[in-house]
Structure 1
Amino acid sequence: MPGKKTVNTIVLVIYLTIFSKFFGLIRDIVIGAQFGTGIESDAYFAAYRMSVTLFLSIGTAITAITIPLVVTNLQGDYEGLINRLITRMLLITGGLVLAGEILAPVFTPWVAVGFEGEKLALTITLVRILLPVLLLVPIVYLLISVLQAQERFVITSLVSLPHNVIIVAYLVVFSRTFGIMGLGVASLLGWLGQLLFLGTGARRQGFRFRFLPRGYTDEIRDYFKAVFPVLVASGVYSVNVLVDSAIASTLDHGHLAALNFANIAYTALATTLIFGISAVLFPKFSDWGARKEMAALGQGVAEALKVMVFLFLPVIFGVLSVNRELVSLIYERGSFDGHSVALTAGALGFYTLGILGFSFQEIGAKVFYALKDTRTPFIFSGLSVVVNIVLDLVLVGFMGINGLALATSIAVTLNGIMLLVLAKRKIGVVPLEGLFIRTLKIIISSGAMALGVVAFLKWFEDSSRWIKLPGGIFLGILLYWIIGKILDIEEISYIREEIVGSLKKRRARG
């Protein structure tokens, strides 16, 4: 297992992220209740993906390049570097936003290929409302990089809280008056709230923003050269989702919204766990990479993989067991009816199949970035997009939106496996002894857990969803724990020791 301090930090980050994401869950519940899977929600989600989701890969690229720079320059003038980067980003994104506002009627029909008439016009308007978010995204992620490089994980774990609170407040108080247009404005204000939240945290660390239009140094030039391949590599999932949306827009009304609701639920789960681990480990990877400590880096990668297999295999089995009940509990109210539940639950199940591959992709890419190799993830991300498009076209004909979700999962998983294989070669030694047996034990425990949960749901089929899902989840965790303990899964024993140790400390204090 990783060092206790690292594990405890990861657990803290995950807990705080879950707390923040809880408000995101409330946001999605209210959006689903207010707008369902109709024309307005189709238009909003299509616009959000075109103007925001696609550009979130910029944020991932920024953190991947910036954190190693800040880690190695904490004693130097990292503040001047960050200020010059913010200034350049504002100038670049300002031009992109202006061009996007003018050209929205041109590029929107190419992405929302099945939209026409009122639905297309609404989507174009929402794109124009949301495009200014692009000004904020780079600054938000530069500040996240500064804070994570200094291991200030609490504030970065809560970063989505202002965004979600603002949108929930709008939905509860103003949505009936201003409708879907107002939701677009609230989404923009939510991003501004994130920026102010992070800015306060960075200021407490001594960071001060200055507009520095001059001073285009070699370091800045090298930074932007490095960002481009990372941008392409980290944007592979966003591009895959955008391709899925374009194809889903050619299906019946509501299919695109259902795919989006499924993707929202999946990414909330996946990013909470995966990015919680990655955020803590990447600064350490960067430090080991800068010092050329390959043995430490290899050990860190091995431990990360063990933790991810332990976490995500049961998640896959668990979500596949309760996907319909989960979607029903989260979304089924108001305009979100049984048909919407069935569509969304199917796509969620197929998206979840890729969560382990997503974690492999994240760790594999971070190893290369820590070693200043941006070319390898760039190449394989391009191949992943091609694989996704081909699979989309093959599977959508007989699986609908389920095929689009499955195609994305397969493409991400293949990309993750290839990156890990190549990362192992680059590092030299990644101690994976016993991983196969450990994985087999986890599969057995997860399978038994899933069978128990399915039987429980069948037995309580006519009970309230507020009983079925929590009861099924509790039973699943209990079964996984018991069988894992019987099979001697290392992480189970470690967690038990931590819990017992914490209880003993509390009793001693009492």
Structure 2
Amino acid sequence: MDKKESQPEGSQEEGAKVAEQNTPKGRSLLRSSALVGIMTMLSRVLGLARDVVVANYFGAGSSADAFFVAFKIPNFLRRLFAEGAFSQAFVPVLSEYRSLKDLSAVKGLVDRVAGSLGLVLVFITALGVLGAPVLAAIFAPGFYMNDPLRYSLAVEMLRFTFPYLLLISLTAFAGSILNSYERFAVPAFTPVLLNLSLIGAAIWMQPLFDQPVMALALGVLIAGSVQLLFQIPFLWRIQLLPSPKLGFDHEGVKRIMTLMVPALFGVSVSQINLLLDTLLASFLQTGSVSWLYYSDRLAELPLGVFGIAIATVILPSLSRKHAEKSTDHFSRTLNWAMRMVLLIGMPAAMALLVLAEPLIATLFHYGEMADRDVMMAAMSLRAYACGLMAFMLIKVLAPGYFSRQDTKTPVRIGIYAMVVNMVLNLLLIGPLDHVGLALATTLSAFLNAGLLLHGLIKEGVFSWQAGWLKWLVRLVVANAAMIAFLLLFAGNPEQWLAFDLWQRISQMAVLVAGGGFIYLLVLLLLGMRLRDLRH
């Protein structure tokens, strides 16, 4: 280890000056969250367009089930290692280096993390490609035991999709650096490239394959490469383009590795729960995996646009507040994040509950997607919608621990929630089939969020600010008015199944615009103003 890198490079004031020079001026948490939200909304809209295209070409049949399993395995590991454990461990350490040391020390950390992470990812990727038959059997045992054709197709596609883990994990590493320096827009925009790649593959590449769905697997691999290359110029601009070096003995790398091990479970419990849903759904009737996938995608829209956007923005801020020992600002930041989650999450959840069939029909009821598929996917969408606020709260409460470099507490809470989810899966899958799996995930998410909040209060780093009762009353009244409007004008599911494309789009536009207008109007009439949303 270089002695220069092992010692603080100047005073805290000098480090703060360097950080200030690399930070956009005057960017509030609200503004940053809005920026990330807009970029993420673009990505999610294109993600829905991607799913519309996939549903049109492949429906909810055997080939679609096989692709979703082959894509879910590296995607799950990406969320677990890259966006989950790694980013939650890396960002606090990087933020501390940024606050207390100079740019050369930060660059030394980035170089050694890049080399160490890259070596581990190459090893895991090689194992994944060679062990594709074993992975497919583990993650979809129903395919392996009951459907050899779906199993072999999933294995073949997994050999294309698994290297995506290497590429997207390095992309997430680059994004974590940019987020730590308040360059939020670039990482938030990057997923757009995945959706464009898969749309292009589904439309233009699928005729080139004997198994047309293989085009999607190749599209995933292409997307990972494009996403990584896209971020490189922006890292170069802030002078943090890595020169990878092995550094397992580097002080910062060792701390990140120590924090990562328990964080593997703590921040990614919801992803593990969703994976358990897929595993058990592989034993159910054909289409169950796809129904859960389509409904989860819709529930993920507000979660990704707003919940993850807020969590992305507050983690570097909380990490700096902790490093500066600013307990009051730390608590106020968490209060603000929770209020924003309820402001967006509550109406989003209500809309998904009321408009489940219309939304599924509008987005996916084309080509190979049958009427029954719409109704079945809508049932699991309602179950996921009930837990939307819990999913979003987990995203903003977990940084309250990781920013303080406490990964043990979320792990313990995550294990409790995972065990409860597994028990509920087994209890509910019998009477409710795939809906029981979604409902079990929702109930365990509420337990997870409740325990995270209780822990922050008990440890004295979170306290309720004044004004919560007034805030909640306003939200309840505004949501009640919005629900009344939606119920009055939504119509019944049979009408939506009979509508053509433009009827669905126009009707949905009226419902979304009208519901949003009613919600905002009531909030304004009750006295809520823009200043109430600022941190």
Alignment of 1:69-148 (within 5 A): 69-74=93-98, 75-76=102-103, 77-115=105-143, 116-148=147-179
Fraction of identical pairs, as percent: 23
Structure 2: where are the runs of 5+ without partners? 1-25
Alignment of 1:18-417 (within 5 A): 18-59=41-82, 60-74=84-98, 75-76=102-103, 77-115=105-143, 116-178=147-209, 179-213=212-246, 216-417=249-450
Aligned mates of 1:452, 1:215 — CA distance in 2:
58
Q: CA deviation at 1:339?
A: 1.3
Match of 1:28, as an amino acid? D
Aligned mates of 1:4, 1:455 — CA distance in 2:
41
Cα pair 2:46 2:195 within 8 Å, conserved: yes
Q: CA deviation at 1:469?
A: 1.2
Cα pair 2:334 2:396 within 8 Å, conserved: yes
Cα pair 1:310 1:491 within 8 Å, conserved: no
Cα pair 1:385 1:411 within 8 Å, conserved: yes
Cα pair 2:59 2:368 within 8 Å, conserved: yes
Give a deviation string over 1:106-159, Cα, whole Å, max 9, x none: 232232121121111111111222111222233112111110111011111101
Give a deviation string over 1:325-383, Cα, whole Å, max 9, x none: 11111111110121111111111121121111112211221011111111000111111
Match of 2:200, as an amino acid? A
1:476 to 504, 509, 515: 515
* CA separation of 1:223 and 1:215: change in aligned 2, threshold 3 A: closer
Aligned mates of 2:376, 2:182 — CA distance in 1:
41
* CA separation of 1:218 and 1:493: change in aligned 2, threshold 3 A: closer
Aligned mates of 1:261, 1:308 — CA distance in 2:
23
* CA separation of 1:24 and 1:429: change in aligned 2, threshold 3 A: closer
Alignment pair present for 1:442 and 2:481: no
Q: Name the SS for the 1:302 alignment partner.
A: helix
Q: CA deviation at 1:215?
A: 6.3
Aligned mates of 2:116, 2:297 — CA distance in 1:
31
Aligned mates of 1:294, 1:220 — CA distance in 2:
27
Aligned mates of 2:108, 2:376 — CA distance in 1:
50
Q: Name the SS for the 1:335 alignment partner.
A: coil
Cα pair 1:54 1:238 within 8 Å, conserved: no
Aligned mates of 2:238, 2:284 — CA distance in 1:
50
Q: Name the SS for the 1:174 alignment partner.
A: helix
* CA separation of 1:262 and 1:94: change in aligned 2, threshold 3 A: same
Q: CA deviation at 1:494?
A: 5.0
Q: Name the SS for the 1:427 alignment partner.
A: coil
Cα pair 2:425 2:437 within 8 Å, conserved: yes
Give a deviation string over 1:155-176, Cα, whole Å, max 9, x none: 1110102111111111221123
Q: CA deviation at 1:481?
A: 2.1
Structure 1: where are the runs of 5+ without partners? 498-510
Aligned mates of 1:127, 1:397 — CA distance in 2:
30
Match of 2:22 in 1: none
Match of 2:107, as an amino acid? E
Aligned mates of 1:142, 1:110 — CA distance in 2:
28
Aligned mates of 2:126, 2:343 — CA distance in 1:
46
Cα pair 1:13 1:276 within 8 Å, conserved: yes
* CA separation of 1:170 and 1:435: change in aligned 2, threshold 3 A: same
1:17 to 29, 40, 49: 40
Equivalent pairs, count: 493
Aligned mates of 1:55, 1:145 — CA distance in 2:
14
* CA separation of 1:6 and 1:105: change in aligned 2, threshold 3 A: closer
Give a deviation string over 1:393-444, Cα, whole Å, max 9, x none: 1111111211111111111121011101211222345233332342233123
Aligned mates of 2:112, 2:531 — CA distance in 1:
49
Cα pair 2:310 2:396 within 8 Å, conserved: no
Alignment of 1:484-499 (within 5 A): 484-488=523-527, 490-491=528-529
Cα pair 2:57 2:368 within 8 Å, conserved: yes
Q: Name the SS for the 1:52 alignment partner.
A: helix
Q: Name the SS for the 1:96 alignment partner.
A: helix
* CA separation of 1:97 and 1:429: change in aligned 2, threshold 3 A: closer
Aligned mates of 2:350, 2:222 — CA distance in 1:
37
Q: CA deviation at 1:81?
A: 1.3
Aligned mates of 1:62, 1:201 — CA distance in 2:
20
* CA separation of 1:494 and 1:226: change in aligned 2, threshold 3 A: closer
* CA separation of 1:491 and 1:400: change in aligned 2, threshold 3 A: farther
Q: CA deviation at 1:459?
A: 8.6
Cα pair 2:95 2:319 within 8 Å, conserved: yes
Aligned mates of 2:32, 2:121 — CA distance in 1:
34
Q: CA deviation at 1:177?
A: 2.5
Off by >3 Å, runs of 4+ in structure 1: 459-463, 491-495
Match of 2:90, as an amino acid? T
